[in-house]
Amino acid sequence: MDGIERIETALSTAIEQSLISALSHVDGPGCPPLLAGAIRHAVFPGGARVRPRLCLAVACACGEDDTSIADHAAAAIELLHCASLVHDDLPCFDDSPLRRGRPSVHSAFGERIAVLTGDALIVLAFQTLARGAAHAPYRLLPLLSVIGRGVGVPSGIVAGQALECESEVDLRAYQQSKTGALFAAATMAGAAAAGADPGPWRALGDCMGEAFQVADDVLDAASSEERIGKPVGRDAALGRPSAVREMGLRGAIRHLQQLVQNAIDAVPACSGAEGLRAVLAVEARRLLPQDIVACAA
């Protein structure tokens, strides 16, 4: 196992352990069984965990002195992402029967429980964040600030979801809110958890977030339900903003490749910059299957 593989394995292990710990509080006395089951269904098994991986990778690159804070911040970000997926799949939005290759929460537990599951995950995320910074409260304020901004209004993921309800939408603004905002929160939270200035880390998150959204647009247009674990062709069917719709498939892939390079170039000077760039290169290769890239070449 080479150095990058060891880093990737360590990141994955830390994230899953932190999420297991966070959800242990769901099993407390009195929690309605359907709600508890739906929350677990929404979080496990997970997807790529890209956002928490970025959070931990940045914290490591900044020379974190307390892994507990970064672990809890990463778990909080993933819980918020899972909450957004639960709401995104609802009949009033995408009406998606599948998520990660199995029934979406509303398909498995009903629409009312799905709404409450998303709500519960949002609250659990901030409870998790507070627990992680309990012994270092001076780091809690910047973490709350950057993560809250990435989720709420005026330009967090909630605002991005709301843009789908508008008649006219700027594609870049939509992508930055719907996807990029939580990526920016992830990179900035990683820095804040390590006691570093989060500001210089925003550009990296913005680029990775936009790249991830463009990749999602490409997969929606050119992949299959079996491959990505959710229905495809939804952007065209629902008339949503899409990089493929605006740039064509080839143009979208070229744009994605440039965004990834921009992200790597945006890594601020830090003790672990070289290792972080290597991690970003690995994450970038996961964004799009190479056969789709080759077919569009």
Q: How many domains does the chain have?
A: 1
User: DSSP string spanning 208-229?
Assistant: HHHHHHHHHHHHHHHS-HHHHS
14-to-43, 83, 187 alpha-carbon distances in Å = 15, 20, 17
Mean pLDDT score, 267-278:
93
CATH number at residue 263: 1.10.600.10
At residue 156's C-alpha, the angle toward residues 147 and 77, to 5°, is: 35
CA distance 266 to 268: 6
Domain residue limits at 14: 3-296
Note the pLDDT of residue 32.
Answer: 95
Of the candidates 18, 40, 54, the one whose C-alpha atom is nearest the C-alpha of residue 121 is: 40
Contacts 24+ apart (CB under 8 A), 159-165: 161/84, 161/87, 161/88, 161/93, 163/241, 164/93, 164/238, 164/240
Higher pLDDT, 209 or 295: 209
DSSP string across 251-279: HHHHHHHHHHHHHHHTPPS-TTHHHHHHH
The percentage of residues in the chain with a pLDDT greater than 90, rounded to a whole number, is 70
Alpha carbon distance 234, 285 (integer Å): 24
Q: What is the CA radius of gyration of the chain?
A: 18
Beta pairing, strands 102-103 & 98-99? antiparallel
Q: Answer yes or no: is pLDDT of 296 > 70.
A: no
Band (64; pLDDT cuts 50, 70, 90):
confident
The average pLDDT across 196-206 equals 96
> What pTM was computed for the model?
0.93
Confidence grade of residue 293 (pLDDT, cut at 50, 70, 90): confident
What is the rounded CA–CA span in Å between residue 144 and residue 154? Answer: 16
pLDDT tens per residue, range 17-34? 999 999 998 988 889 999
DSSP-assigned beta bridge partners for residue 15:
none
The residue written with tokens 């930055």 in the block is 176
Phi, psi of 213 (to 5 degrees): -65, -40
Lowest mean pLDDT among 25-29, 35-39, 192-196: 25-29
